[in-house]
Structure 1
Amino acid sequence: MDLSTGRSIKILSVFDFDGTLTHHDSFIPFLRFAFGRRFFARRVVRLALPTLRCMRRKLTRDELKEVLIKTFLTGVDEQWVRQKAEAFCSAYWNKLMRPAGLLAVSAEVSSAAEVTICSASPAMVLQPFADRLGIKLIGTELEVKDGVLTGRITGHNCRCGQKVKRLESVYGELSDYHLRAWGDTRGDYELLAAAQDAHWRHFHPAWSKRRSPLEKLRMSAIS
């Protein structure tokens, strides 16, 4: 309850997916699973130079992501990808998901909060996971024409400030909510900064949490 207005405050609980609810990235393992190890190995060689350029900061992470999607998903049938995503979820659920993260999602759902995943990974790949969790999903959208993936994304990669913008496009002004957020990488900083209740690497082992990005921002503001 907001004492100043007398209105009940809605709770919006937002979970990053890769590395937060999961033990590690999901998209690369999905591509290996969907296309098979031999095909994956042949195609991934093409990413060596773009990856090197990204390491040298001559290519952004978003641009590298676009190269990855173009390399593997150009001209691929949309329904085939969705079927593979369902199979991947069934095969890798127990290996991929963090038990503590699953409990946290369940607790948020039970509290009657509005709960969603907000991830840079393709929504098409993560939809079966969101469905199994019984929550909503916001992710990077893959462009589809006539039922076939073009190898491009629609809009922007859903990371950093885009996470906040995408949430606002779905839920409206975030100030209308008590925002709870869970994240684990630089791509979650803006989301965590917007939250009243921010959780940095909440499900990770203690040694991997280190100082949170919000603490770093506060320290830099003081100094």
Structure 2
Amino acid sequence: MPEFLRRSVPRRRLLAGQLLFAPLVIGYKMGLVSGTFIRSLIVRFGYSGVPVSVVEARGLEFARSHLPGTLRPEALQRIAWHRSQGHAIVVVSGGLEAYLRPWCEAHGLELVCSVLEQRDGILTGRYEGPQCVLAEKARRVGERYDLKAYPAIYAYGDTAEDRHLLGLATERYYRWQKVEAAAGR
């Protein structure tokens, strides 16, 4: 998400935001400021009053030019394997729909993610509902899918914010290492 912010927030606003939020970013890196809190502030500052069409265009460009170079080969291999098994494949992310939706659509994947609120084609600077992080990831997945209908659920995570999502799975991987299955599944 930080790279998308650099590419999608108006330049003057981006520079001002970097100065304004530098202490909070340092606090975040030190574990003193929550990621949810700082993301909400950055989104508010960066996207308030920005036309949706501008962010969507930048998201499409980002999905085409930047995301392919950032994806781990293991992720693409696992997607191909799940597809060969006939599994439903869902990307669950705290990242923004503006760049994740075009990528997921191009690859035939379902998506559950954070969405920016808009009114009359202009972004408000708020999220539409809670950010799709922490327990919200698991809640949204459970709301959208009847998990009991699946004989196996695979989940992959790479940050501490994924622990709730991993807890839904019968087969779970953290940073590409298999971890013990969730109790009761």
* TM bucket, shorter chain: 0.7 to 0.9
2: CA distance between counterparts of 1:201 and 1:38? 36
Is the counterpart of residue 112 in structure 1 residue 92 in structure 2?
A: no
Q: 1:96 maps to what in 2?
A: 70
Deviates more, 1:74-83 or 1:48-57: 48-57
Provide the rounded CA distance (Å) in 2 between the counterparts of 1:97 and 1:43. 27
1:42 lines up with 2:36 in the alignment: no
What is the CA distance between 1:49 and its match in structure 2?
Answer: 3.0
Q: Aligned partners of 2:56, 2:104: CA distance in 1, in Å?
A: 13
Match of 1:176 in 2: 149
CA RMSD of aligned residues (A): 2.4
Give me the identity figure in percent.
24
Report matched runs for 1:81-160 at 5 Å: 81-160=55-134
Give the SS at the match of 2:18.
helix
In structure 2, C-alpha distance between the alignment counterparts of 1:191 and 1:137, rounded to whole Å: 14
> Are the structure 2 counterparts of residues 125 and 201 from structure 1 closer, same or farther at C-alpha, using a change threshold of 3 Å?
same
What secondary structure does 2:132 align onto?
A: coil
Change (3 A) 1:156 1:39: closer
Q: Which amino acid aligns with 1:156?
A: P
Question: Hey, what's the Cα distance between the residues in 1 that align with 2:137 and 2:118?
Answer: 22
TM-score by length of 2: 0.86
What residue number does 1:187 align with? 161
Corresponding position of 1:161:
135
**How many aligned residue pairs are there?**
181
- Give unpaired runs (5+ residues) of structure 1: 1-26, 203-208, 219-223
Asked which structure has the greater CA Rg, the reply is 1
Please tell me the residue identity of whatever aligns with 2:16.
Answer: R
Q: Which runs of 5+ in 2 are unaligned?
A: none
Query: In the superposition, relative to structure 1, how do residues 93 and 62 fare at CA in structure 2: closer, same or farther (>3 Å)?
Result: closer
Relative contact order higher in (CA < 8 Å, ≥ 6 apart): 1
